[in-house]
Amino acid sequence: GKYKYILIKVHDPDKDREFKFIVRGTSKCGFHADIYDKVVGDIESKGLDCEVLGGGRIEHEPNKKSIKIYGYSQQYGRADHSITQTLLLRKYKDYEHITWSNEGY
C-alpha cells in the first residue's frame, strides 16, 4: 500500500553525538504530524529526545518485494530518502527493489 512516513533522529540527551535514525509510517495517519504524535510518547518515555528530519511517502508491494520511497511532507519538508532506503534495506534484506526518488508529492 501507499502511506506517509517520517524520518526521525533519536538521541540520548546525556550523550553527545550518539544518535539513531528511525523510519515510521502508517496508512492510518492522514498527516505526517499524526505519525509523530503516535511515536513521540514512546520515545520520550525511554528518556530519549527526537526530532523529525522530514517526511515523504512509501509505496510498499510485499508480493513484489518492492518499496518505493518518494515525495515530501508539507509540514516537515523532504526527508533524506537515501537514509530511509539504507534503513529499509537492513530490515527487508530479501527485497529486490528498494528505490527512492525526490519526484512526486
Active site residues: 32
Angle ∠(88,5,94) on CA atoms, nearest 5 = 20
Task: Please tell me the distance from the alpha carbon of residue 21 to that of residue 65, in angstroms, as a whole number.
Answer: 23
Exposure on the CB side of residue 50, measured as CA atoms within 13 A? 25
Select from 22, 20, 46, 47 the least CA-distant residue to 36: 22
52 phi and psi angles, rounded to 5 deg: -80, 125
